[in-house]
Each structure stands twice: as C-alpha cells, then as structure tokens.
Amino acid sequence: MLISPTDIANRACQKVGAELIANGALMTEQSKPAEQIRACYDFLRRAELRRNPWVFGIRTVSIRPLSFGSRKLTFGTWAIGTSYSKRDIVTGDDGQIYFSRVNANIGNTPSTSPDQWTLYFGPRIAEEFITTWGSGYTYMQGDHSIGSDGNSYISLVDTNINHNPVGDGGVHWAADTSNYAGATKSSFFTGELVHIGQTIYLSLTNNNGQGTVNTYPQNYFTGLPPPSTVTWMTLTTPPTVDKVVFNYPVGAGPVQDFMTRNVYVLPVGFLRTVPQNPKAGQALYLGAPDGSEFQDWVYQGGMFITADTGVINYRFMADISNCDEFDPMFVDGFACRIATEVCEPLTQSTAKLQGIAAEYKMFMGEARNTNAIENGPTYPPEDSYVTCRF
C-alpha cells in the first residue's frame, strides 16, 4: 500500500475531528486543515526523525578523516534528456541530492519518481586515489601522481592536463618526497567516492582499490585494472570538484598532521547520530564487565572531531521523506504530533489536545517496546561474585 503525505495529514485530521483533505491534495488544497498541516508538515517530520533513532531511517556510510587530498563535491544537476545509470548521483529539481535506482533512467523527475530515484545519503567528500599519471586526467594544484619513473609528483597548478610529470622540468609538476607521496594502498567500501585529479569514481564493491599503481582504481582481488564498470563507476554528470578550504577547529587538522585530532565531515542527509554499536555489551568470564571504550567524538559545524584516524562505518539517522519507507508506528506517531500542532487552530478544544498528546506518548513508548525505535547499547551487569568492595 502506497502512503502519501496527504494520507498522514488525513490521519491527523481524523484525530482532531477535522474535514479530510482531498486525495493527494495536501500541497494544493486551500482548505483550512490543508493550510495548517502544510505549514508544519516538513518541520515536524524532521523533528520527529531527529527526536528518536527510528530503525527504518538508520543508514550506514563509510567516511574518512579530511586529508590534504580530500575534495568537496557539488553533484551535477539532473537533466531531463540525460540517461542515467543505476547508482548515478545528481542534484535534483528540488535542490536535494538523489541516487538512481535503475539503469536507463531518463525523463524521470527525481522529486516525483520514487521508483526511479531515492534520496542520496552518502559522503559529500572524495578522497584522493593516487595512481600512475594518466593523460586523460585533469589535476588540481596539490594533487599527486606517480610518474613512469616510479617517483611521486605533486601538481603545481590547476587545470593540469596532458603534462607528463617525467621531464616536465618543474613547470607543472614537482617531485614530492613527503610522507603523503606514494600509490594509494587503502581499501575502499561500497559507496565511497574517490578522485584522480577531477575525475570522480564511485566504489561498487568492498575491498576495492587496494594495492598496485594503475591509471585508475583497480580491484584488490584481481590485481589488474578492470573496466571501470566492474568495480568502479564514473558518474554520468561529473560533479564539480573543489578544494576543502576552511579553518580547522582548534586542536584539529588534516590526517597527515600527527599532532592534532582529525575531522570527519558528516554525510548528506544527516539528522542525528545513533548508537554506533547497539549491542556493545558482551559477557566475559564469570560475568566481569567488558570495559568498552567510549567515543571521543565532538560534533560541531557539520562535522565531528576525534582522535580516530581511519575509515569509520558511520551509522546515522537520515532525513527520510518518502512515506513508503516510514514504519507504521512512525506514521501514527507523526500524525499525532501534527494533530497536536493543528488542534488549537482547527478545534479550539483543550480536551482534544490533551487526549492526542497522551496518544502520542503511548505510540512512542510502544515503538520502543517493539524495536521500531532503536535503544542504546546493552551492557552486562556487574557480577557480585567478581566485584569486590572494600
């Protein structure tokens, strides 16, 4: 059964005893219930998703600390006549970022085609993939490449294309002897984005790209560069690639700086963090506490700062707007929340408002009891046989 925002709005209307809105007309009808609910719908949806870690909205994405090679991406704008491949990423007609669900995706408006497009909840940063220099790549100032002589080079200029670093004479490339030099030996997860110069690749598999120096990302298991459609994909509409330029928070810096903490940029569609390991507790011998470590993450300005240095498979609550993904208990709880907001202007009944508020509280409690809302980590109790008190 397909659910629309109008269906949720009408559930709220039922709770307050207001006239129902015409089918699919929440955004267009001029009735008082439609106007009141339309004015608060998206604000309350985001607030409810942020208030509790609803299981249906939890997503996991691999993110890495900012480095000298990190690049900020602005995804290309969707075009009606372009045929998009499955997993393509575009900026939709409404300004949100979308992920293609199908191949040969042409003429389907992202904001109104949920069968063809879904909101993108992935990294907004691409990490540098350092390989042998290739004539087809456009390098930016600060990008790295491996010359045919096996030495590492760093680009001195932007729009650096078709200038072979070997024999360049220091015009476009300079020898790089820093600790950052060398071919990428990282293993990337599905959904991660990397850049070689200004060319962006999306990883289609796990354990992807580790090992040998090649002209483009390669598969760890084969050791040979396959066609890009096997384990890597270039986006149909190339994103705009920009340097990450901002003032690092005090005490933080790029991952190459070993004296500071590191910065991780939050993914697209982030609303709130959720327990990273919901079942962190474990029972040790004779029931002794497991001594789990606590995270040192400090959130600010669309990022968090930590002493961690590697890739994090990060769990978070995503800004889900497709009603078909909503848990049935969220639908009723969300309708109650809308009803409490519009009850006064529609009915002027304090008694109704109090009854709806009690119903909302009941739904939230039942959602936790049925695991529709995720609870925090579970830790074993201390065993009095082991714990000694003096």
pLDDT digit string (tens) for 179-190? Answer: 666 677 778 899
pLDDT at 226 over 50: no
- Determine which helix (DSSP H) or strand (DSSP E) holds 362, and give its type and residue range: helix 350-369
Instruction: Identify which has the larger pLDDT, 390 or 336.
Output: 336
Provide the 8-state DSSP code for 310: S
Instruction: Identify which has the larger pLDDT, 246 or 140.
Output: 140
When the pLDDT of each residue in the chain is averaged and rounded to a whole number, the result is 87
Q: What is the pLDDT of residue 181?
A: 64
Give the three-class secondary structure for 283: coil
Q: What is the pLDDT of residue 333?
A: 95
Asked if residue 309 is part of any domain, the answer here is no
Q: Label residue 224 by pLDDT band (50, 70, 90).
A: very low
pLDDT at 85 over 50: yes
Q: What is the pLDDT of residue 293?
A: 60
**How big is the CA angle at 373 (ends 367 and 375), to the nearest 5 degrees?**
120
Asked if residue 76 is part of any domain, the answer here is no
Q: Residue 343 contacts by C-beta under 8 Å, 6 or more apart in sequence?
A: 16, 349, 352, 353, 356
Asked if residue 77 is part of any domain, the answer here is no
Asked if residue 169 is part of any domain, the answer here is no
Count CB neighbours of 347 within 10 A.
15
Q: Which residue has the tokens 């409690």?
A: 365
Task: Average the pLDDT over 98-105 and give the result.
Answer: 95
Task: Average the pLDDT over 139-152 and give the result.
Answer: 90
Q: What is the pLDDT of residue 290?
A: 53
Residue 326 sits in which domain range? 5-56+321-369
Asked if residue 108 is part of any domain, the answer here is no
Asked if residue 248 is part of any domain, the answer here is no
> Do 318 and 42 form a contact (C-beta atoms < 8 A)?
no
Give the predicted TM-score (pTM) of the model: 0.86
Give the three-class secondary structure for 16: helix
> Strand 58-63's sheet: what is its strand order?
58-63, 312-318, 270-273
Q: What's the structural domain count of the chain?
A: 1
Q: Label residue 99 by pLDDT band (50, 70, 90).
A: very high
**Could you give the CA distance from residue 31 to residue 10 in angstroms, rounded to a whole number?**
12
Q: What is the pLDDT of residue 213?
A: 36
Token pair in block for residue 179? 């600790």
Handedness of CA 76, 126, 299, 316 (dihedral sign): positive
> Do 26 and 6 form a contact (C-beta atoms < 8 A)?
yes
**Could you give the CA distance from residue 310 to residue 305 in angstroms, rounded to a whole number?**
13
**Could you give the CA distance from residue 106 to residue 95 in angstroms, rounded to a whole number?**
18
Asked if residue 168 is part of any domain, the answer here is no
Asked if residue 345 is part of any domain, the answer here is yes
Task: Average the pLDDT over 168-184 and give the result.
Answer: 82
In degrees rounded to 5, what are phi and psi of residue 265?
-85, 130
Dump pLDDT digits (tens) for 291-309. 556 789 999 999 999 999 9
Q: What is the pLDDT of residue 1?
A: 61
What is the maximal distance between C-alpha atoms in the chain?
Answer: 83
Instruction: Identify which has the larger pLDDT, 308 or 215.
Output: 308
- Percentage above 70 pLDDT, the chain: 86
Task: Average the pLDDT over 258-284 and give the result.
Answer: 85
Provide the 8-state DSSP code for 235: -
Token pair in block for residue 346? 């529609």
